[in-house]
Chains A and B, each alone.
Chain A
C-alpha cells in the first residue's frame, strides 16, 4: 500500500491518459461501425447497379432482336433508361445508340451492325464484326457505377445434327463446322453442335473414336466411351431445341398445283432430271442420279443404287435409300426430305460424300460416309439415329437449297445446225428469241446452206409474245417457218411444215413450265432450316463482360 500513498499525486495524469485511451477506443468503435455500415451500403449499391446494367442490356437485346433495325440509325429515340423496383429513385440503367446522347449520359454508345457483313468501329474504337450488335449497359446506384458489355452475333442454323430420336455412333465419328477456307482437316474445324431432344435414358451414345467440336446437348443422358472427345459442353438435362418441321407435301408439285413432268417408269438406269419431276409410285434408280436444278418428288420409296449429286430437292412420302454417296464436289447442293426412313451409305467416309440437307421423319442410318450440311431427324423419341464410321460437317451455305425457276432455254434442230432459242421473260413484252449459231465460235467457220448468214450477228429472229405467253398458233408457225427458211431457203414444203410443227411443240411445252405470274421466283421450292430458329437461337452471345 506504500505504492498507493506514493502514487496518488499522478492520478490526474493517469485519468487523462485513461480518458484519452477510452475516447480513442470509443471513436475507433464508432468509426468501425460507420465503415461497416458504409461498406454494407456500397456492396448493396454495387449489386443494384450491376442488376441495372444487366437488365438494360437484356432489354436492349430484346429491342434489337424484335426489330433488327433498332439502333441502326443511331436515333436518340433508340435509347433505354430504366429503373428497377427496390432501387433508389435516382438509380438508373442506361443504354443508347446515339453518340450525343451517350456523351450527355456519360456512357459508351451501343452499335447495331446486324445488317452489314463487314466489320465496323464501335464505342471506344472497338472493332465489331459483321452481323453483330454491341450493347453497352451502364447501371448507377448510390454513386456506384457498373457496366455490362455484350456482343451478340447473328448465326445461321448451327446444329450439325439435331434429332428428336436418340443418337448412337459406332466407330469413327467427327462432328464439326467446315473451316473458313472449306477445309475439312480436323485442326481447321469450327464448333458444331449435336443435339438429341429425346429424354429416354441415355439418349446420346458416342464411341471411343469420336470428336465433336461443339456442344452435345440432350434432355436425357450422354455416354461417351473414352477417349472420345467433346470440345464444347456436355449439356445433360438441357431443354429441347426447336427442330425444323418441314411438310414433305410442300415439295409435291402436284399437291402445290405446279407444273411437273410425270415419270412414266418405276425404275431408271443412271439418269439426270431437270425441273419439277414427280413419280406417282415407288421409284428405283439403278445407278447414279443427277439433279440439274430439279425438284423430284416420289410418292412412295426412293431407292438409288448409286450416288446422288447436283442441285435440287428430293422429297419422298416413303423412305429414301442412297447406296453409294458421291465424290466431293462444290457443285452439289441437295436436300433429302423423307416422311419415312433415310439410309445413306458410302464406300468409306474419306471418299464418299453427301452435300446438303437431310431431313427425315423416321429412322436415320449413315454408314461409311461424310455428310456436309446438316442432318435433322424430326422423328419420335423411340426411333433411332445410327452413325457408323461417319463424319458430319456443318456447312451453313449448303443447307439452304433453292430449286431455280424452270429454264426458259430450248433449242431447235434445223437441217444443218442446232439453233439455241429462249424465252426472254425480262423483256417487255416477253420475247421468243432464236439465237444465231454463228455466235458460237465452234460452228462459226463451218459451211452453211445460206452463206449470207455467216456474217450475221445477234439473234436470227425475235417474236414478241403476249404477257400470258399464249401466242396464236398460226403466228408462231409462221415465225418458225421463217426461221427454217433462213437456214434452208429451198426446203420442200412438207419438210418445212414438219420442222415448224416440231418447234411449235417445243415452244408450247416450254411455255407450259413457266409460271407467268412469277417466272423468276427462286423461292418456289426452297428448304431453309434457319427459318425455324427462334429469335434467341438465331443469334449467339459472343461476349458478356461485367465491369
Chain B
C-alpha cells in the first residue's frame, strides 16, 4: 500500500483541480435545482392545504340538514391562517343546479383564495347534494 501511495503522490494537484471542478459543477447544478424545487414543494404544500380546507368545508356543509342549505351567493367564511402565516380566504356558494328542483338537489361550491409573493392563487371545489334521508 505504501508503495502505491508513494507512486501516485505526484498527481495530487491535477486530481485536486479536477475534483474541485467536478464538485463545483455539481454544486452549481444543485444550487440551481434546489430553490425551484423548494418553491415548487412550497406551492404544492400550499395548494394541498387549500384543497384539504375546501374539502373539509364541503364535508361540513354536506353533513348539515338539507333544509339549512339555503341558496346563497358566494359568501366569505372565516379566514384560515397557517403556522407559516399564509392566509386562506374561503367563500361558500349554495346554488341551484341548472334547472333542477332545489327541493331535491343543490350545489355547494367552495372557493379558496390565497396569495404567495403577491401572486393570487385559488382552488375551487364543488359537489351537488341531494335531499334524501339515509
Interface residues of A (CB under 8 A from B): 5-9, 11-12, 14-16, 18-19, 22-23, 26, 29-30, 33, 36-37, 40, 43-44, 47-48, 51, 54-59, 61-63, 65-66, 84-87, 152, 238-239, 534-537, 539-541, 544
A12 touches B127 (CB 8 A): no
Instruction: Please pick, from A6, A55, A87, A539, the residue contacting B128 in the complex, using a CB distance under 8 A.
Output: A55
Counting CB contacts under 8 A, is B63 at the interface? Answer: no
- 25 CB-based A-B contacts, threshold 8 Å: A9-B4, A11-B19, A12-B19, A14-B19, A15-B18, A26-B30, A29-B37, A33-B40, A43-B51, A44-B47, A44-B51, A47-B125, A51-B127, A56-B128, A61-B104, A62-B97, A62-B104, A62-B130, A86-B109, A86-B123, A86-B126, A239-B65, A536-B133, A537-B133, A540-B132
For window 96-134 of B, CB contacts with A under 8 Å fall at: 97, 100-101, 103-105, 107, 109, 111, 123-134
Known: A66-B100, A86-B124. 4 other contacts (CB 8 A): A87-B126, A534-B103, A537-B133, A539-B132
Report Cα–Cα, A61/B44, bound state, in Å.
Answer: 36
Q: Chain B contact residues: over half helix, strand or loop, or mixed?
A: helix
Q: Across the interface, which residues of A come within 8 angstroms of B18, CB to CB?
A: 12, 15
Counting CB contacts under 8 A, is B87 at the interface? Answer: no
Report Cα–Cα, A59/B4, bound state, in Å.
Answer: 81
B132 touches A61 (CB 8 A): yes
Report Cα–Cα, A9/B15, bound state, in Å.
Answer: 8
B104 touches A536 (CB 8 A): yes
Which of under 10, 10 to 19, 20 to 34, or 35 or more describes the interface residues of B?
Answer: 35 or more
A54 touches B127 (CB 8 A): yes
A149 to chain B, nearest CB (A): 13
Instruction: Please pick, from B5, B16, B109, the residue contacting A6 in the complex, using a CB distance under 8 A.
Output: B5
Q: Across the interface, which residues of B come within 8 angstroms of A6, CB to CB?
A: 2, 5
Report Cα–Cα, A51/B109, bound state, in Å.
Answer: 11
Nearest B residue (CB) for A63: B100
Counting CB contacts under 8 A, is B12 at the interface? Answer: yes
B101 touches A86 (CB 8 A): no
Mark contacts of B1-17 with chain A using CB atoms, 8 A cut-off: 1 yes-contact digit, 0 otherwise.
Answer: 01011011101100110
With A9-B11, A9-B12, A540-B132 already in contact, the answer to whether A55 and B126 are too (CB < 8 A) is yes
Q: Across the interface, which residues of B come within 8 angstroms of A152, CB to CB?
A: 132
Report Cα–Cα, A540/B124, bound state, in Å.
Answer: 31
Instruction: Please pick, from A26, A29, A66, A539, the residue contacting B101 in the complex, using a CB distance under 8 A.
Output: A66
A66 to chain B, nearest CB (A): 6
Report Cα–Cα, A138/B132, bound state, in Å.
Answer: 20
A19 to chain B, nearest CB (A): 6
A239 touches B68 (CB 8 A): yes
Nearest A residue (CB) for B27: A22
Report Cα–Cα, A537/B67, bound state, in Å.
Answer: 13
A542 to chain B, nearest CB (A): 9
A535 touches B127 (CB 8 A): no
A153 to chain B, nearest CB (A): 10
B104 touches A66 (CB 8 A): yes
Report Cα–Cα, A220/B102, bound state, in Å.
Answer: 26
Report Cα–Cα, A94/B45, bound state, in Å.
Answer: 31
Nearest A residue (CB) for B102: A62
With A9-B12, A40-B47, A44-B51 already in contact, the answer to whether A541 and B127 are too (CB < 8 A) is no
Nearest B residue (CB) for A53: B127
Q: Across the interface, which residues of B come within 8 angstroms of A63, CB to CB?
A: 100
Report Cα–Cα, A126/B133, bound state, in Å.
Answer: 23
9 A-B pairs closest in CB distance: A86-B124, A9-B8, A15-B19, A55-B128, A58-B130, A62-B105, A536-B131, A58-B128, A51-B127
Report Cα–Cα, A26/B45, bound state, in Å.
Answer: 20
Instruction: Please pick, from A18, A26, A541, the residue contacting B133 in the complex, using a CB distance under 8 A.
Output: A541
Instruction: Please pick, from B11, B47, B125, the residue contacting A86 in the complex, using a CB distance under 8 A.
Output: B125
B5 touches A9 (CB 8 A): yes
A451 to chain B, nearest CB (A): 72
Counting CB contacts under 8 A, is B71 at the interface? Answer: no
B133 touches A540 (CB 8 A): yes
Report Cα–Cα, A12/B12, bound state, in Å.
Answer: 9
Q: Across the interface, which residues of B come within 8 angstroms of A29, CB to CB?
A: 37
For window 58-74 of B, CB contacts with A under 8 Å fall at: 58, 65-68
B12 to chain A, nearest CB (A): 4
Q: Across the interface, which residues of A come within 8 angstroms of B86, CB to CB?
A: none
Counting CB contacts under 8 A, is B26 at the interface? Answer: yes
Report Cα–Cα, A26/B2, bound state, in Å.
Answer: 35
B134 touches A544 (CB 8 A): yes
A33 touches B26 (CB 8 A): no
Q: Across the interface, which residues of B come within 8 angstroms of A56, CB to CB?
A: 128
B134 touches A541 (CB 8 A): yes
With A11-B16, A15-B19, A44-B51 already in contact, the answer to whether A59 and B100 are too (CB < 8 A) is yes
A37 touches B44 (CB 8 A): yes
For window 36-86 of B, CB contacts with A under 8 Å fall at: 37, 40-41, 44-45, 47-48, 51, 55, 58, 65-68
With A9-B12, A536-B132 already in contact, the answer to whether A58 and B125 are too (CB < 8 A) is no
Q: Across the interface, which residues of A come within 8 angstroms of B109, CB to CB?
A: 85-86
Report Cα–Cα, A534/B107, bound state, in Å.
Answer: 20
Nearest B residue (CB) for A56: B128
Report Cα–Cα, A8/B47, bound state, in Å.
Answer: 50
A15 touches B130 (CB 8 A): no
Q: Across the interface, which residues of A come within 8 angstroms of B16, CB to CB?
A: 11
Q: Across the interface, which residues of A come within 8 angstroms of B40, CB to CB?
A: 33, 37
Q: Across the interface, which residues of B come within 8 angstroms of A23, CB to CB?
A: 26
Instruction: Please pick, from A36, A85, A239, A535, the residue contacting B44 in the complex, using a CB distance under 8 A.
Output: A36
Q: Across the interface, which residues of A come within 8 angstroms of B105, CB to CB?
A: 58-59, 61-62
With A536-B103, A536-B131 already in contact, the answer to whether A11 and B30 are too (CB < 8 A) is no
Nearest A residue (CB) for B7: A9
B29 to chain A, nearest CB (A): 8
B15 touches A11 (CB 8 A): yes
Report Cα–Cα, A29/B111, bound state, in Å.
Answer: 32
Q: Across the interface, which residues of B come within 8 angstroms of A51, CB to CB?
A: 58, 125-127
